Chains A and B, each alone.
Chain A
């Protein structure tokens, strides 16, 4: 599995800005955020729950 690109923050301006240097400064935080974000997303979609249960039974 790959994460191609991560954008941090909101986009309040019309200049399509990107965070210069943020990726290095916040890299460990970003990794944690991606992980928790995806887990939350999976929880919302219900994708992981059923699959994990069936794997446990096997």
Chain B
């Protein structure tokens, strides 16, 4: 797949799928590349990535599931093709396919192939239970959910046991494809994150993605049980920094931003909530939302382009005004702000 170049109000974005980099560059840089006209916008001309929930069906019933996966309406193959056409027309770089469990859809690989053929990098997150292990070359990256380095922890967090299947899937895929591991960080696996990193190294995966538990979907019922303790929250940053010594990239959910200290490293590589800034989400029923974790409807997928340009990007959390971290944290995760008026666990806003 060839690199994509997009002019933006500040200059442009270069996305190179082979090198796996997305670079924001200034107008002078773009002029060197032969681009001399720039859009008169105050936001990106299109998202970098659109999250597409292809189904809410799932072959597991995890107790912390943020979408309360199970059943319900989903877009048809033709509707998803139409959505992908719209996304391709906007020059979006990547689609993050999720669910539910995407591989519960018999036509999922055809959907992903359609995106690939439209020059969009398809990525997917799966529980690894029923993934077909061939014909996956088209994916940029495949992330498998694994909430513990051992069965006991996995079961304790998720409430259902697919540990062996997930491990076998990772082992099978890691030799041939770019594979990552998704970990929802809870009080039960926080102390064992080093074990997960060691396992990731052993399984030769590319990255470990640490995801913050959110009080939505089925997780509302178990949030208080699974959430990190006060002591663990205080040790969070030190713990994350201690994970950087492995030969596996550590990625951190933007919802963890309030717990991390901005430093030079942060300034270059980190940022807070991306809702409406560089990403957008489409639910299984075609409803567009600012983020896959939010249920706030912005409209139907057919209007995705208009929604992107006209959506509100104002996200003010009153208690965060004046906070020195706001410019990079952006008020933390909207899931928490919507529910509690602020990030109820932020170590700064609680003072």
Evaluate contact between A6 and B23: CB separation under 8 angstroms: yes
- A16 contacts across to B, CB distance below 8 A: 253-254, 273-275, 278-279, 291
Asked if B29 is an interface residue, CB under 8 A from chain A, the answer is yes
Q: Separation in Å of the B19 CB from the closest CB of chain A?
A: 5
Asked if A7 is an interface residue, CB under 8 A from chain B, the answer is yes
Evaluate contact between B250 and A20: CB separation under 8 angstroms: yes
Known A1-B25, A5-B268, A41-B5: A17·B252 in contact at CB below 8 Å:
yes
Q: How far is the CA of A38 from the CA of B34 in the complex (A)?
A: 12
The residue in chain A whose Cβ has the minimal distance to the Cβ of B207 is: A9
Q: Separation in Å of the B213 CB from the closest CB of chain A?
A: 11
- B197 contacts across to A, CB distance below 8 A: none
Partner of A3, one of B23, B33, B255: B23
Q: Separation in Å of the A43 CB from the closest CB of chain B?
A: 9
Partner of A14, one of B250, B251, B268, B293: B293
Q: How far is the CA of A5 from the CA of B10 in the complex (A)?
A: 12
Evaluate contact between A47 and B32: CB separation under 8 angstroms: yes
Evaluate contact between B24 and A5: CB separation under 8 angstroms: yes
- A4 contacts across to B, CB distance below 8 A: 10-11, 24-26
Evaluate contact between B293 and A9: CB separation under 8 angstroms: no
**Residues of B within 8 A of A (CB-CB), count:** 70
Q: Separation in Å of the B169 CB from the closest CB of chain A?
A: 14
Asked if A28 is an interface residue, CB under 8 A from chain B, the answer is no
The residue in chain B whose Cβ has the minimal distance to the Cβ of A30 is: B21
- Interface segment, B121-129, B216-224, B319-327? B121-129
Q: Separation in Å of the B127 CB from the closest CB of chain A?
A: 13
Q: Separation in Å of the B64 CB from the closest CB of chain A?
A: 14
CB within 8 Å of A: which of B133-149?
A: 140-143
The residue in chain A whose Cβ has the minimal distance to the Cβ of B34 is: A47
- B178 contacts across to A, CB distance below 8 A: 10
Asked if A13 is an interface residue, CB under 8 A from chain B, the answer is yes
Q: How far is the CA of A38 from the CA of B98 in the complex (A)?
A: 31
Evaluate contact between B255 and A15: CB separation under 8 angstroms: yes
CB within 8 Å of B: which of A6-30?
A: 6-25, 30
Evaluate contact between B252 and A9: CB separation under 8 angstroms: no
Size category of the A interface is 35 or more
CB within 8 Å of A: which of B21-46?
A: 21-26, 28-29, 32-35
Evaluate contact between A19 and B250: CB separation under 8 angstroms: yes
Evaluate contact between A2 and B25: CB separation under 8 angstroms: yes
- B14 contacts across to A, CB distance below 8 A: 37-38, 41
Q: How far is the CA of A6 from the CA of B268 in the complex (A)?
A: 7
Evaluate contact between B254 and A5: CB separation under 8 angstroms: no
Evaluate contact between A21 and B244: CB separation under 8 angstroms: yes
Residue interface bits B307-344, CB-to-A below 8 A is 1, else 0: 00000000000000000000000000000000000000
Evaluate contact between A9 and B206: CB separation under 8 angstroms: yes
Top 8 A-B pairs ranked by shortest CB distance? A47-B34, A12-B123, A14-B292, A23-B269, A10-B140, A16-B274, A17-B251, A15-B253
A-binding residues in B (CB < 8 A): 2-3, 5, 10-11, 14, 16, 19-26, 28-29, 32-35, 48-49, 51, 94, 96, 98, 121, 123-125, 140-143, 178, 180, 182, 206-207, 209-212, 240-241, 244, 249-255, 260, 264-265, 268-271, 273-275, 278-279, 281, 291-293
Show 15 A/B contacts (Cβ-Cβ < 8 Å), sorted by A: A2-B25, A6-B21, A7-B48, A8-B21, A9-B251, A11-B279, A13-B98, A13-B123, A16-B274, A18-B252, A21-B241, A37-B19, A41-B33, A42-B33, A47-B32
